[in-house]
């Protein structure tokens, strides 16, 4: 079976253009900082205190909204307050009706909610319904709530907020959610959500309609066995880590000249496979901030190189970046599984490349990107990318087309992707 690569024009990362803040009220988005970090001993004391208490009271729905999203699909959202005597968990069971006919049932689960704090449970992409019923179930938690130990700094850019979220608790934060609820003249108009964790701590919330107030809520997930011990503290010394080296920085115009792309070439010399998160700030020729971008790389093989790029609608003159080392988890690097075999130029001057694929014991590569960079006198002219969401042992990567500039004297090839190592 000969798979064809899908040629895509994409923007890598999440791009935020600055349009002016207007008069947006951020309500409880307070740029909360300077929260004292919780020690493991303080966590244990608080946990013992919680375990001695008998759970009294229930969670309470304080806001609920049934509306349609921008695609015309129904959604249902609950804001739930912990009015019990301790940190607790909550589940919601919902029955959806058209008239008196039951058409669907669903349930939602929140992480631990600190006493006196609120969380959100939502149901999205629903078929149209006319009414609903629900029940809440409150249960005792085996961990301590950490809502008051979450701080965030934010930049509001027109209708979007870029959040840098920090977990000041002694737990290692698992995949969690942040919800932005938007209001106009005191009335709810829409909401959005994003995911983050201990390592990928940037999030974005935005409104697709006009608003004058925004409220933030968290759904925080922690595990009793995952705490910030000494091994963890060594692990998170990961900001611009030694050995995850930038060997190339470039700004070049897009193909139509209407925008620009900022690119880094990373080389992993850490002695082990690693994941990475790259945060960029892009500036114009006068030093004004044009926007942000976030790029996530599941894994870079030891001794291997990869590219990180972000495209913008305006011409960038400079950019700054921060690189964070992330755990590679159960991801296997693929840079050494794909190699260039041969090349030729077609009648239009474009580059055609053949590749060998050697997956070894793995069944397929997920999300393979091949980026070709074209240079003239060591200046990067442009890049061309091809993408395939799954490359298996039957895939033939031959005569892969890469659009090339008219005049270049060399090219470089970089690979991004991963094989997922399953526990079984």
The whole-angstrom separation of Cα 113 and Cα 121 is 12
Task: Note the pTM of the prediction, 2 decimals.
Answer: 0.65
pLDDT in tens, 165-189: 889 999 999 989 999 999 999 999 9
CA within 13 Å, CB half, 384: 18
Closest CA to 395 of 371, 351, 363: 363
Q: For 270-299, what is the mean pLDDT?
A: 83
For residue 33, count other CB atoms closer than 10 A to its CB.
Answer: 10
Strand partners, 324: 239, 277
Q: How confident is the model at residue 285 (pLDDT cuts 50, 70, 90)?
A: confident
pLDDT score at 12: 34
Q: Per-residue pLDDT tens for 90-142?
A: 999 999 999 999 999 999 999 999 999 999 999 999 999 999 999 999 999 99
User: What is the model's pLDDT at position 208?
Assistant: 83
Give the Cα separation of 123 and 384 in Å (integer). Answer: 39
Contact call for residues 90 and 59 (beta carbons, < 8 A): yes
Query: Confidence band (pLDDT; 50, 70, 90) for 237?
Result: low
The single residue listed with the structure tokens 């997922």 is 420
Angle at 257 between CA 254 and CA 263, to 5 degrees: 30
Provide the pLDDT confidence category of residue 10 given band limits of 50, 70 and 90.
very low
Fold of 244-329: Immunoglobulin-like (2.60.40)
The C-alpha atoms of residue 288 and residue 251 are separated, in whole angstroms, by 16
Is 418 or 78 the better-scoring residue by pLDDT? Answer: 78
Alpha helices in 161-273 (DSSP H): 230-235
Nearest to 47 by CA among 219, 224, 226: 224
Residue 21 has pLDDT above 60, yes or no: no
| pLDDT tens-digit map of 304-329 | 999 998 887 777 889 888 888 887 87
Range with the lowest mean pLDDT among 104-108, 161-165, 272-276? 161-165
Computed over every residue of the chain, the mean pLDDT equals 85
The CA distance from 329 to 390, in Å, is 20
Q: Give dist(CA 338, CA 349) in Å, integer.
A: 24
Residues above pLDDT 90, as percent of the chain: 48
Domain ranges within the chain, ordered by starting residue: 22-236, 244-329, 332-420
């Amino acid at each position: 079976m000969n798979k064809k690569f899908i040629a895509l024009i994409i923007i890598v990362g999440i791009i935020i253009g600055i349009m002016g803040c207007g008069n947006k009220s951020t309500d409880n988005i307070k740029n909360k900082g300077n929260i004292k970090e919780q020690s493991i001993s303080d966590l244990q004391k608080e946990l013992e205190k919680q375990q001695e208490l008998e759970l009294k009271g229930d969670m309470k729905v304080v806001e609920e909204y049934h509306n349609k999203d921008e695609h015309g699909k129904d959604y249902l959202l609950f804001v739930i307050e912990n009015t019990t005597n301790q940190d607790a968990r909550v589940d919601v069971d919902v029955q959806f009706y058209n008239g008196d006919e039951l058409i669907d049932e669903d349930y939602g689960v929140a992480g631990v909610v600190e006493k006196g704090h609120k969380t959100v449970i939502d149901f999205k992409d629903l078929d149209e319904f006319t009414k609903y019923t629900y029940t809440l179930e409150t249960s005792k938690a085996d961990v301590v709530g950490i809502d008051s130990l979450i701080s965030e700094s934010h930049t509001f850019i027109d209708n979007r907020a870029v959040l840098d979220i920090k977990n000041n608790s002694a737990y290692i934060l698992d995949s969690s959610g942040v919800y932005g609820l938007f209001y106009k003249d005191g009335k709810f108009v829409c909401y959005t959500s994003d995911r983050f964790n201990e390592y990928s701590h940037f999030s974005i919330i935005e409104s697709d309609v006009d608003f004058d107030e925004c409220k933030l809520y968290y759904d925080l997930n922690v595990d009793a066995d995952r705490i910030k011990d000494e091994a963890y503290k060594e692990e998170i010394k990961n900001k611009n880590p030694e050995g995850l080296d930038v060997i190339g920085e470039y700004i070049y115009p897009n193909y139509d000249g209407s925008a620009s792309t900022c690119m880094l070439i990373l080389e992993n010399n850490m002695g082990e496979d690693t994941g990475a998160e790259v945060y960029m700030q892009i500036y114009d020729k006068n030093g004004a901030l044009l926007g942000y971008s976030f790029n996530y790389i599941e894994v870079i093989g030891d001794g291997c190189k990869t590219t990180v790029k972000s495209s913008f609608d305006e011409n960038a003159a400079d950019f700054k970046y921060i690189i964070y080392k992330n755990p590679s988890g159960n991801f296997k690097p693929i840079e050494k599984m794909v190699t260039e075999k041969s090349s030729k130029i077609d009648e239009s001057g474009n580059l055609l490349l053949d590749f060998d694929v050697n997956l070894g014991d793995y069944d397929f590569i997920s999300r393979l990107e091949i980026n070709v960079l074209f240079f003239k006198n060591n200046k990067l002219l442009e890049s061309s990318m091809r993408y395939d969401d799954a490359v298996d042992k039957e895939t033939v990567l031959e005569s892969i087309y890469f659009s090339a500039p008219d005049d270049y004297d060399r090219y470089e090839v970089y690979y991004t992707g991963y094989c997922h190592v399953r526990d079984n």
